[in-house]
């Protein structure tokens, strides 16, 4: 019934929608502030501060007028990206770190979205809440409960599991005030995760109920978080150098290259560590080490090579 009325009104008065904003309540409880761009028999196209949203007319519950002043004054979404969980395999762990960084970059590129991590939360957030968020994984109740405590609008979660030569990737998002407004996407890949940026970008838009834009994938430009935007009395060049120096010690091959947008450097670093680790394991395998010693030597070799290449690309 609602759909028929809307379509009839659209056909009879298309010009009226162009300059009017509406507060639209959906079946999942979300309230969307938008300009109605178009209506067909099967979908409504809404333009929101964050981008284009497609909904079914059947999902419409109420629609109220909204002034332009109220629309323009809407605050950006606070989107908290939790640490992506994984199965602790080396590849899944490395890809989880990379996927979280890339997810933050995608969110940073979306208008009226303010992405943040647990580290970016204000000092007033207690440590037990931070610890609980870090352990949420893909638990929706944990994410919504603690997300409400810290005052965010959306919580994004990810999970990576290695199965043979493939990685199964799941990405989910939930609106804290309306937990029934949740979405997830999943895909599997066998090649480098960096080759699937388009898929990851689309997934990030999907879990926010947004249409992904066409065109190039998100660039790997350095991410500026809310916490980093606070003015610092120190020399900015020294601050950047200090941050890169600390980042170089992270156990993620090529993370300093990735942080500066050097995709070729990242690929080179990843390949160098992989080959170097394989070589060290081969050499150690011919030595008279015990099993625990063998594990220790292999781990230290991998980490040592990682730190080395990270410092190289940090300059």
Provide the residue ranges of all domains of the chain, joining segments of one domain with +.
2-72, 77-219, 228-315
pLDDT at 239 over 60: no
The structure's pTM equals 0.67
Architecture of domain 77-219: 3-Layer(aba) Sandwich (3.40)
| Fold of the CATH domain 2-72 | SH3 type barrels. (2.30.30)
R_g (Cα) of the chain, nearest Å: 23
What sign has the CA pseudo-torsion 50, 227, 232, 258?
A: negative
Distances (CA, A) of 174 to 108, 143, 197: 18, 8, 22
pLDDT in tens, 100-148: 999 999 999 999 999 999 999 999 999 999 999 999 999 999 999 999 9
Higher local confidence (pLDDT), 164 or 283 = 164
pLDDT at 259 over 80: no
Residue 166 burial (CB count, 10 A)? 12
User: What span, in angstroms and rounded, lies between the C-alpha atoms of 227 and 271?
Assistant: 32
Residues with Cβ within 8 Å of residue 74, at least 6 apart in sequence = 33, 49, 112
pLDDT at 250 over 70: no
pLDDT in tens, 60-89: 999 999 999 999 999 999 999 999 999 999
* Confidence tier at 233 by pLDDT (50, 70, 90): very low
């Amino acid at each position: 019934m609602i759909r028929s009325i809307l379509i009839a009104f659209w056909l009879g008065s298309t010009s009226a929608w162009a300059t009017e904003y509406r507060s639209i309540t959906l079946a999942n409880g979300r309230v969307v502030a938008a300009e109605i761009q178009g209506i067909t028999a099967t979908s409504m196209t809404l333009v929101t501060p964050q981008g284009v949203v497609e909904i079914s007319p059947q999902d419409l519950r109420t629609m109220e007028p909204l002034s332009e002043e109220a629309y323009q004054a809407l605050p950006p979404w606070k989107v908290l990206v939790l640490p992506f969980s994984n199965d602790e395999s080396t590849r899944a762990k490395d890809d989880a770190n990379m996927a979280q960084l890339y997810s933050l970059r995608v969110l940073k590129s979306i208008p009226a979205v303010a992405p943040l991590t647990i580290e970016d939360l204000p000092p007033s957030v207690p440590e037990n809440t931070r610890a609980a968020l870090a352990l949420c994984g893909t638990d929706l109740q944990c994410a919504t409960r603690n997300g409400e405590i810290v005052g965010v609008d959306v919580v994004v979660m990810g999970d990576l599991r290695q199965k043979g030569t493939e990685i199964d990737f799941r990405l989910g998002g939930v609106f804290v005030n309306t937990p029934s407004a949740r979405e997830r996407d999943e895909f599997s890949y066998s090649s480098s995760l960096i080759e699937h940026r388009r898929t990851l970008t689309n997934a990030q838009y999907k879990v926010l109920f947004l249409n992904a834009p066409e065109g190039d994938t998100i660039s790997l430009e350095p991410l500026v978080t809310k916490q980093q935007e606070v003015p610092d009395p120190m020399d900015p060049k020294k601050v950047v150098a200090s941050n890169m120096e600390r980042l170089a010690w992270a156990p993620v091959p090529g993370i300093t290259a990735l942080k500066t947008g050097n995709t070729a450097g990242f690929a080179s670093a990843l390949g160098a560590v992989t080959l170097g680790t394989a070589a060290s394991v081969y050499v150690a395998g011919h030595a008279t080490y015990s099993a625990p010693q063998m594990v220790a030597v292999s781990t230290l070799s991998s980490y040592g090579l990682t730190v080395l290449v990270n410092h190289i690309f940090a300059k």
